[in-house]
A and B are shown apart, each in its own frame.
Chain A
């Protein structure tokens, strides 16, 4: 009634259990919701802070002729919003400024504010005032007001952008940076799940029952693949829902160039997870109790933290030579390369080199981790030293 399982069937069976068990756990959905909540906050935050910054309420006492048009014109040039409020006299305007209903009012040759005058509003008001006063002076010198007005309004500087994609690139960089944070969170969480899963099997001794049926490598591979797939699914959900949320809220425009960084991040997650999960599994196989987990996974987590701070550094110093190096050297490349790729900073050869080195590292780590795991996973009790785990493998395999 039974037949031997191939290695692949065994791996599939284990991976399905890991995936199926964990996707039903409440923590999966809770962490998904929390991440989406953070995305929503990050997307919405600039809109709240923008409220005071780009728009002003101003009153012009005595309504000097032409000033309102001049202010509106200057405001549109400076890309800020100025709304005019009626004010019967200086006293009423002053009260409104004190109450915070108005940001500023103009009275004759002075501008009155409550505490300080915002720089961009100052420039707008100053330019408009000079324009109006200058026109009046020219007018009184006998020049046609219409000519003056035409001359002054047409004398606006045109902006010629040499790098028209900069905006878009910045946005992609921002998405990728946020992606790095999420990616780091995913890597550390799911590597930890692998480690906890390994210890759970050891501490409950179920590993003895399992390993009486399938090879240790199949159990290890199945566990990493199952949990990794779950991490990938969650990351894809975060990416998809996050982009959807951001575009629904009007923070970004959904287009190919915006989706690419998310796909890049997914790809790098797979690579980064393969490396970190192998390390975590090997570390966790050395111990038999969840309490000791912190102790053995600290080196792995430290490596991840260093990558993470590296990503911050690269985000802030995009042109530094170190940025180029860090984005190529594994395992740091897993967090840093997606950032540079999204911004379009990485050359093709750099991406190729980073991929090649990462794959090479993974190949080495998988072999090392599998051997440590096999050597240590059935040894209960005290922490197994790396040396013993390495040497023990001969016996378990034969």
Chain B
């Protein structure tokens, strides 16, 4: 298990990370979301040892990270990092060997990855001759070539077309299913919702939500969309019949209502049926985007100052 334990980091007067903690299990895909400058990149750089935290530590299976453990990690920095003039295959082999993979194994792993990412024909092209989308695939390959047990990817999907997203997601999913722990940051919340087993939302260097996507959405609200075949005014009648019910949205035919935390959905349904035929009764679950907006929009914590990511 990869644990980030109470990481703090300042740049001069600016607080980038403030007591940040979360954990990622093997076989889990963890989405790391937050506004620009919330501290995602700083956190990832600390995990990779590219940056030192002011306090706190990162552990893998209980042991503080060191160079030897990090050798098993794969990293895709936000600003893509490859030698522009190197040939792709050669480049991947070089990176694998820096991770300590033997030459022959590295050679094969690089070829297999290029195959999987549909880049075999470009194997002996220079990195700079590829389109940006293809460079991004090579960048992913670079993070994967030594078969890492932990992968840390900063904005891996930004700038990819839908097909690119799908192929990259498939490659990542395969690694997760094989037991790797994957953390990636993204602004594409639908994508995070679709791909990730767990999500962490970071705001101003602090984690403000952390958990399985369903769990987060489930606890957020107890809302239902109702359509009842009754005369206008049925919504008000329903609200009167069910104690503590609030009306979120009132249309003529359908309405969205919210039960208090203690409320019972079956008695709500009974109350609705008493008014007329119920055509629709659907739990409304907030999307990750709704959730994100609600937690990020909360007033700043007292100590919160303007946060920036690593320049």
A378 on the B face (CB < 8 A): yes
Known A13-B97, A398-B52: A205·B77 in contact at CB below 8 Å: yes
- Pick from A2, A17, A208, A214: contact of B50, CB below 8 A: A208
Give B78-111 as 1s and 0s: 1 = Cβ < 8 Å from A's Cβ atoms: 0111111110000000110111111001000000
- Pick from B72, B84, B97, B98: contact of A204, CB below 8 A: B84
In the complex the two chains form, what is the Cα distance from A133 to B99 in whole Å?
93
A3 on the B face (CB < 8 A): yes
- Pick from B94, B100, B310: contact of A3, CB below 8 A: B100
Interface of chain B: mostly helix, strand, loop or mixed: loop
Give A172-209 as 1s and 0s: 1 = Cβ < 8 Å from B's Cβ atoms: 00000000000000000000000000001100111111
Give A196 Cβ to nearest chain B Cβ, in Å: 12
In the complex the two chains form, what is the Cα distance from A116 to B52 in whole Å?
81
In the bound complex, residues from chain A placing their C-beta under 8 Å from that of B84 are 200, 204
A contacts with B, residue count (CB < 8 A): 30
Q: Assess whether A204 is in contact with B99, with CB atoms less than 8 Å apart.
A: no
B131 on the A face (CB < 8 A): no
Q: Assess whether B48 is in contact with A208, with CB atoms less than 8 Å apart.
A: yes
In the complex the two chains form, what is the Cα distance from A227 to B48 in whole Å?
28
Q: Assess whether A378 is in contact with B51, with CB atoms less than 8 Å apart.
A: yes
Q: Assess whether B100 is in contact with A2, with CB atoms less than 8 Å apart.
A: yes
User: How many residues of B sit at the interface, in one of the four size bands?
Assistant: 35 or more
Q: Assess whether B94 is in contact with A209, with CB atoms less than 8 Å apart.
A: no
Q: Assess whether A2 is in contact with B71, with CB atoms less than 8 Å apart.
A: yes
Q: Assess whether B98 is in contact with A395, with CB atoms less than 8 Å apart.
A: no
B273 on the A face (CB < 8 A): no
In the bound complex, residues from chain A placing their C-beta under 8 Å from that of B83 are 21, 200-201, 204, 206
Known A204-B82, A204-B83, A396-B52: A210·B67 in contact at CB below 8 Å: no
Residues of chain B from 275 to 311 with CB closer than 8 A to chain A in the complex: 310-311
Give A362-395 as 1s and 0s: 1 = Cβ < 8 Å from B's Cβ atoms: 0000000000000000101100000000000001
In the complex the two chains form, what is the Cα distance from A214 to B310 in whole Å?
22
Known A1-B102, A5-B98, A21-B85: A213·B80 in contact at CB below 8 Å: no
Q: Assess whether B81 is in contact with A208, with CB atoms less than 8 Å apart.
A: yes
In the bound complex, residues from chain A placing their C-beta under 8 Å from that of B82 are 204, 206, 209
Known A208-B50, A208-B81: A213·B101 in contact at CB below 8 Å: no
In the bound complex, residues from chain B placing their C-beta under 8 Å from that of A211 are 49-50
A34 on the B face (CB < 8 A): no
Give B56-79 as 1s and 0s: 1 = Cβ < 8 Å from A's Cβ atoms: 000000000001101111010101
Q: Assess whether A213 is in contact with B50, with CB atoms less than 8 Å apart.
A: no
In the bound complex, residues from chain B placing their C-beta under 8 Å from that of A205 are 77, 79-81
In the complex the two chains form, what is the Cα distance from A204 to B83 in whole Å?
7
Q: Assess whether B98 is in contact with A210, with CB atoms less than 8 Å apart.
A: yes
Chain A residue with Cβ nearest B311? A381
In the bound complex, residues from chain A placing their C-beta under 8 Å from that of B97 are 13
In the bound complex, residues from chain B placing their C-beta under 8 Å from that of A337 are none
- Pick from A1, A4, A212, A395: contact of B48, CB below 8 A: A212
Give A238-267 as 1s and 0s: 1 = Cβ < 8 Å from B's Cβ atoms: 000000000000000000000000000000
In the bound complex, residues from chain B placing their C-beta under 8 Å from that of A208 are 45, 48, 50, 75, 77, 79, 81
In the complex the two chains form, what is the Cα distance from A25 to B85 in whole Å?
10
Give B94 Cβ to nearest chain A Cβ, in Å: 6
Q: Report which residue of B72, B83, B311 has the largest number of chain A beta carbons within 10 angstroms of its beta carbon.
A: B83
Q: Assess whether A215 is in contact with B67, with CB atoms less than 8 Å apart.
A: yes
Give A222 Cβ to nearest chain B Cβ, in Å: 10
- Pick from B85, B100, B147, B310: contact of A5, CB below 8 A: B100
Give B101 Cβ to nearest chain A Cβ, in Å: 5
Chain A residue with Cβ nearest B96? A2
In the bound complex, residues from chain A placing their C-beta under 8 Å from that of B50 are 208, 211-212, 378
B142 on the A face (CB < 8 A): yes
In the bound complex, residues from chain A placing their C-beta under 8 Å from that of B99 are 2, 213
Q: Assess whether A209 is in contact with B147, with CB atoms less than 8 Å apart.
A: no
In the bound complex, residues from chain A placing their C-beta under 8 Å from that of B86 are 21
B175 on the A face (CB < 8 A): no
In the bound complex, residues from chain A placing their C-beta under 8 Å from that of B73 are 212
Give A286 Cβ to nearest chain B Cβ, in Å: 15
Q: Assess whether B101 is in contact with A13, with CB atoms less than 8 Å apart.
A: no
Residues of chain A from 48 to 98 with CB closer than 8 A to chain B in the complex: none
Q: Assess whether B71 is in contact with A213, with CB atoms less than 8 Å apart.
A: yes
B137 on the A face (CB < 8 A): no
Give B178 Cβ to nearest chain A Cβ, in Å: 13
Q: Report which residue of A13, A25, A215 has the largest number of chain B beta carbons within 10 angstroms of its beta carbon.
A: A13
In the complex the two chains form, what is the Cα distance from A205 to B51 in whole Å?
14
Q: Assess whether A209 is in contact with B100, with CB atoms less than 8 Å apart.
A: no
In the complex the two chains form, what is the Cα distance from A380 to B11 in whole Å?
13
B146 on the A face (CB < 8 A): yes
A104 on the B face (CB < 8 A): no
In the complex the two chains form, what is the Cα distance from A375 to B256 in whole Å?
57
Q: Assess whether A380 is in contact with B98, with CB atoms less than 8 Å apart.
A: no
In the complex the two chains form, what is the Cα distance from A115 to B265 in whole Å?
121
Q: Assess whether A212 is in contact with B100, with CB atoms less than 8 Å apart.
A: no
Q: Assess whether B77 is in contact with A4, with CB atoms less than 8 Å apart.
A: no
Q: Assess whether A1 is in contact with B147, with CB atoms less than 8 Å apart.
A: yes
Q: Report which residue of B52, B70, B98 has the largest number of chain A beta carbons within 10 angstroms of its beta carbon.
A: B98
Chain B residue with Cβ nearest A394? B52
Chain A residue with Cβ nearest B86? A21
In the bound complex, residues from chain B placing their C-beta under 8 Å from that of A213 are 70-71, 95, 98-99
Give A397 Cβ to nearest chain B Cβ, in Å: 9
In the bound complex, residues from chain A placing their C-beta under 8 Å from that of B101 are 1-2
Q: Assess whether B146 is in contact with A2, with CB atoms less than 8 Å apart.
A: yes
15 A-B pairs, CB-CB below 8 angstroms?
A: A2-B99, A3-B100, A4-B100, A5-B98, A10-B98, A25-B85, A200-B83, A201-B83, A204-B81, A206-B83, A209-B95, A212-B73, A213-B70, A213-B98, A398-B52
New A-B pairs, 7, CB < 8 Å, besides A21-B86, A205-B80: A2-B100, A10-B98, A205-B77, A207-B81, A208-B75, A212-B75, A213-B99
